[in-house]
């Protein structure tokens, strides 16, 4: 399903914690990406369709500075990225080199990319922070990507932080990390997550009034009936 402006707006008000619970109830346990953390404090929640990048361990005849000039390179991938996408880069957990530095991140920011999410590292950390590109990564490393990684391709299925990510799946990222919503479940998950956020906001207000948790969280039939009466 397409990520409409309405769905994007709804998801921008839903926490990744809520989304993981909704997805868990649907049998999806591996949706939170291990490793990616906000590079800056206070990054706003981002929502976008995944644009995938695949890296594998470096092989010396392929991972060379000359490879950066190849049509199939990280530079080529950046130019293919559509505005508003969330770039998800799978590195097989390798963090010994930075996949992108300040110049590439600046170009992504200029193109209107929503965010970069990677289980790998970035380089030129101060410079990357100086761009407007929101970044979730697993640390910083000085060496360039080819010191430890071979770039393979873009827009094919990748693994990132233990999660299978397909192009055009939807990614939501906030202070708790990044969560994937399969494209086929987008509308269903969005509706259920918005309803869950509304209910939990009401429950929090009840807790602040001093109510005990049993029967309130999770709500029993009586509590849910009262919630529906009070919220319409």
The fraction of the chain above a pLDDT of 70, given in percent, is 100
Q: If phi over 0 gives left and psi between -120 and 50 gives alpha, with beta otherwise, what is residue 182? A: beta
The fraction of the chain above a pLDDT of 90, given in percent, is 92
pLDDT score for 20: 98
Instruction: Give the Cα separation of 178 and 85 in Å (integer).
Output: 14
Q: What is the pLDDT of residues 134-184, one digit of tens each?
A: 999 999 999 999 999 999 999 999 999 999 999 999 999 999 999 999 999
For residues 197-204, average pLDDT: 96
Higher-pLDDT residue of 67 and 87 is 87
Contact 92, 159 (CB under 8 A): yes
- Predicted TM-score (pTM) of the model is 0.93
The number of beta carbons lying within 10 Å of the beta carbon of residue 72 is: 12
Instruction: Give the Cα separation of 23 and 19 in Å (integer).
Output: 6
Instruction: Give the Cα separation of 117 and 136 in Å (integer).
Output: 5
As a whole number, the mean pLDDT across the chain is 96
Q: What is the pLDDT of residues 71-109, one digit of tens each?
A: 789 999 999 999 999 999 999 999 999 999 999 999 999
pLDDT score for 223: 97
Is the model's pLDDT at 63 over the cut of 80? no
Instruction: Give the Cα separation of 97 and 111 in Å (integer).
Output: 24
The residue ranges of every structural domain in the chain are 32-181, 188-231
For residues 58-66, average pLDDT: 85
Q: What is the pLDDT of residues 209-229, one digit of tens each?
A: 999 999 999 999 999 999 999
Higher-pLDDT residue of 232 and 231 is 231
pLDDT score for 111: 98
Residue among 145, 140, 136, 217 nearest 180 (CA): 136
Higher-pLDDT residue of 172 and 2 is 172
Is the model's pLDDT at 66 over the cut of 90? no
Q: Domain 32-181 adopts which CATH fold?
A: Glucose Oxidase; domain 1 (3.50.30)
């Amino acid at each position: 399903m397409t990520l409409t402006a309405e769905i994007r707006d709804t998801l921008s008000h839903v926490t990744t914690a809520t989304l993981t619970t909704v997805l868990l109830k649907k049998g999806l346990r591996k949706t939170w990406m291990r490793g990616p953390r906000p590079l800056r404090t206070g990054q706003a929640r981002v929502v976008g369709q995944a644009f995938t990048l695949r890296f594998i361990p470096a092989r010396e005849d392929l991972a060379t500075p000359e490879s950066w000039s190849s049509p199939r390179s990280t530079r080529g991938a950046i130019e293919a990225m559509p505005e508003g996408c969330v770039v998800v880069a799978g590195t097989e957990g390798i963090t010994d080199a930075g996949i992108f530095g300040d110049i590439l991140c600046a170009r992504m920011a200029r193109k209107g990319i929503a965010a970069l999410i990677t289980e790998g590292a970035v380089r030129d950390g101060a410079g990357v922070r100086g761009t407007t590109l929101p970044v979730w990564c697993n640390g910083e490393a000085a060496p360039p990507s080819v010191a430890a990684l071979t770039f393979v391709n873009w827009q094919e299925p990748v693994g990132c932080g233990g999660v299978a990510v397909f192009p055009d799946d939807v990614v939501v990222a906030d202070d708790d990390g990044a969560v994937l919503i399969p494209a086929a479940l987008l509308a269903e998950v969005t509706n259920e997550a918005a309803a869950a956020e509304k209910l939990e906001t009401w429950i929090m207000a009840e807790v602040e009034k001093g109510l005990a948790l049993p029967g309130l969280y999770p709500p029993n039939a009586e509590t849910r009936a009262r919630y529906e009466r009070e919220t319409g």
